[in-house]
Amino acid sequence: MWEKAIDLVTTKAETIRLDYSVNPWVFLLLLVLCAPFFYYSIYRVVRSAAARNRPALFRWSTVFIGATSLPYLYVLLFGRNLPWWIYPLFLLLLGQGGYSLARKLRTRR
């Protein structure tokens, strides 16, 4: 059973790599490596907003946006033959991240 699941994931990853020139393992690695920066930046943004520290708020918001968008930028920069709907999907995901951050900031005040 596990062999079938592993074979399916490996086959799908290879297909994605060949079709779109994007290595799914690199994408997954970027997601995992950005996660601590993502969560820590949310903590610091909320803390900076509560203290009304605008320079720190701007700095940690930039870290938040970078940690959110880095894996997707990898796909956009290195991907080839991507379907048209990938671009609006990435914009939607980034917008959702910004909206979520803004909502968290509003509830903390």
Does 104 or 74 have the greater pLDDT score? 74
Task: Report the alpha-carbon distance of residue 95 to residue 6 in Å, rounded.
Answer: 33
Kindly provide the b/e burial profile for residues 18-43, where b requires at least 16 CB atoms within 10 angstroms of the residue's own CB. Answer: eebebbbeebeebeeebeeebeebbe
Contact 71, 34 (CB under 8 A): yes
Task: Report the alpha-carbon distance of residue 17 to residue 19 in Å, rounded.
Answer: 6
pTM value is: 0.75
Task: Report the alpha-carbon distance of residue 16 to residue 41 in Å, rounded.
Answer: 31
Supply the mean pLDDT for the chain.
88
Quick one: pLDDT at residue 106?
Answer: 76
- Average pLDDT on 11-21 reads 90
List phi, psi (to 5°) of 36. -60, -40
- Average pLDDT on 84-95 reads 87
Sign of CA pseudo-dihedral 30, 95, 108, 54: positive
Contact 8, 1 (CB under 8 A): no
Does 100 or 31 have the greater pLDDT score? 31
Place of tokens 């297909």: 15
